[in-house]
Structure 1
């Protein structure tokens, strides 16, 4: 580990890079974080909050004198442009798949002189994901069926899960009922215009993660025409907190997929 290398004053505009730097023991480099940060919880108490997701306090960020700002996706392009014009180094990642998340984690680790530690964590996490997949294959070998799963990222309008969510669901043993939408990086392109199509695909499990808003299974069950959906008739409606699955970083690869695994394996043992 050569931690005197790389940026020493980092602002993280989204949660996943904050969590990762804490996991690497490099939290002392962080001088500002997103107001949405909940992982790790102590980051909220220790670090100034300087951004939401679509906007940021540019003046406050500049006062922190960062030598690097980490951002995520085209949705933060305007923030990045303002900071670049002010002379700040900005690195914006755009990871959408499990492999791209691992690539981002390695790049950040290397930037702060922790490439070896990053590779060790990545290897251990890939091993855990392989073990989850193996546990599913064992059940399938005994004739258990994989459940059809609708992952709802937002309720009004209905938005299905993004690519890394769909991929992790597949590892955990579930089959995304909207696989063709998972490749769409923008939420507006994953809108399901006709809710009747969800009913037609008849998911066995519904998992809600409404971008920070509390999931209401009773509201889902009461939707017009949904009473015959397998997930509703068998009470298979679950929430996974957005911080655990919708941030493309360590949380999704650990806690998020583990929660999916528990939900899916329980269904396979009881219903498959």
Structure 2
């Protein structure tokens, strides 16, 4: 029998959520302070790191036998932990397929491949249900998804995929494949005006979306979304972390906003 990890540290919220979904939360020895899902994890598990800021000695205090990390932003702390003799698995999922693959991989790591496959199938079915519902929309609204306001940053790849799945058209789809936020900065606000979105969705990472700030941007009053009052917020914690919550919570919220925009367009 392979030796399974008993003391896992999760440096991002997605793997915490998966382990809880699999019923394997007893293996978690520490989490990131930015963990959101599930809410009970924040009460039950010690917080041993930030997201992009972490100290190896703090993590080592909980004696992990496996650390699960995410993205290039955690590459440095992963290197430090490897040097300290800790086994590390760094995920880098950036699309819907990657989210499902991450779920399956976590399941294999803890000896629960069947439960992980069932979870991945459930999430895939949710995606397909949204896709099928979107097929009935009267039109495909043009969507501007704003991940940050100063500077303006457009949506990452899985968000862009969600927009298409939910029946919209991402006006900055060409930027979505860029993995880094700096590569998705919209330097010229007038470019949003030129692309004329029918819907603006704000999901400002770590803070509330403020529609009045968007409405006050010079020259933006001619944007169709503002003219029709089609501004919506999807909570950043529900969509900007590529895990189950993004599919369970973020995708439906985005789909609802796109449906409202499509119906408004159809009414003229």
Count matched residues: 266
Offset at 1:5?
A: 5.1
What is the TM-score with the length of structure 2 in the denominator?
0.96
Query: Could you say which residue in structure 2 is the equivalent of 1:246?
Result: 240
Note the alpha carbon deviations across 1:106-132, whole angstroms, 9 max, x for none: 100111111111111211221221121
Query: What is the rounded CA distance, in whole Å, between the counterparts of 1:69 and 1:261 in structure 2?
Result: 34
SS in 1 for 2:200: strand
Deviation at 1:53, TM superposition (A): 1.3
Q: Deviations over 1:82-118 (max 9, x none)?
A: 1111111011011111111111111001111111111
Match among 209, 212, 219 for residue 218 of structure 1:
212
Uncovered stretches (5+) of structure 1, i.e. residues with no partner: none
Residue 90 of structure 1 is aligned with which of 67, 88, 98?
A: 88
RMSD: 1.3
User: Partner of 2:85: helix, strand, or coil?
Assistant: coil
Q: Which residue of 2 aligns with 1:205?
A: 199
Mark the runs of 5 or more structure 2 residues left unpaired by the alignment: none
Q: Deviations over 1:19-42 (max 9, x none)?
A: 111111111111110111121111
SS in structure 1 of the partner of residue 150 of structure 2: coil
Aligned partners of 2:200 and 2:232 also within 8 Å: yes
| Structure 1 residues 4-19: aligned runs within 5 Å | 6-19=4-17
What TM-score do the two structures reach when normalised by structure 1?
Answer: 0.95
The aligned residue for residue 27 of structure 2 is: 29
Q: Does 1:182 align with 2:180?
A: no
| Residues 1:68 and 2:66 aligned together | yes
Within-5 A mapping of 1:1-272: 6-139=4-137, 144-272=138-266
